[in-house]
Chain A
Amino acid sequence: GQNIDQPTEMTATEGAIVQINCTYQTSGFNGLFWYQQHAGEAPTFLSYNVLDGLEEKGRFSSFLSRSKGYSYLLLKELQMKDSASYLCAVNDYKLSFGAGTTVTVRA
């Protein structure tokens, strides 16, 4: 079976940094996706990690350690528009999603 864990909620201040952790135990692994989902909207792609290490994309970075079954999404210089749910998804022939982490950015 698939077990993907991420915190339910996080709160941070505008301009700060937030790290969203995701741990997984899955029967197979072909990479890990991060998606962003604003309330009432469709999820949109943020990043994809297939090899160990850090992938940086502007204010967002994603890290993967396959041996530890661990990933994190790092959001820097937080803006109010970053308030959203962040979904971790493991690619095992098909995607298995965590329950999502709701990030609230406060002024």
Chain B
Amino acid sequence: DVKVTQSSRYLVKRTGEKVFLECVQDMDHENMFWYRQDPGLGLRLIYFSYDVKMKEKGDIPEGYSVSREKKERFSLILESASTNQTSMYLCASSFETSVDEQFFGPGTRLTVL
């Protein structure tokens, strides 16, 4: 069974703080993704990575950065958290981008005060 884990289920931070969200997958998948999910907007892709040290911008990368130093781990970084970054953050991984399903982690509910 593919397992995608995220470091926290719930997180509360203050405006201006630097926030790290960690994601780990155990199936040797090449590809990893970070989404945010907001009511009425669905899942929106923030960043993705096809290989270690590789990253590509998704649809809404502003205010975020990522790091992939190891194949199994993909980190999302909020350099200076703002209230409009309050959201559910979902990490996913897949073997190949085009045809393989993505496996999602349980999500991190981030609240920025």
Contacts and interface: CB of A to CB of B under 8 A. Distances in A.
Interface of A: 2, 4, 8, 30-31, 33, 41-45, 48, 50, 87, 89, 91, 93-100
A98 to B, nearest CB: 6
A93 B98 CA distance: 6
Interface stretch (B13-21, B67-75, B78-86, B99-107): B99-107
Contact of B43 (A30, A45, A87, A93): A87
Nearest to A89: B43
A84 to B, nearest CB: 14
Contacts of A100: 42
Interface string B38-53: 0011111100100000
Contacts of A48: 99, 101
Interface of B: 4, 33, 35, 40-45, 48, 58-59, 90, 97-99, 101-107
B106 A97 contact: no
B99 A31 contact: yes
Contacts of B99: 30-31, 48, 50, 91
A95 B45 contact: yes
Contacts of B43: 43, 87, 89, 95, 97
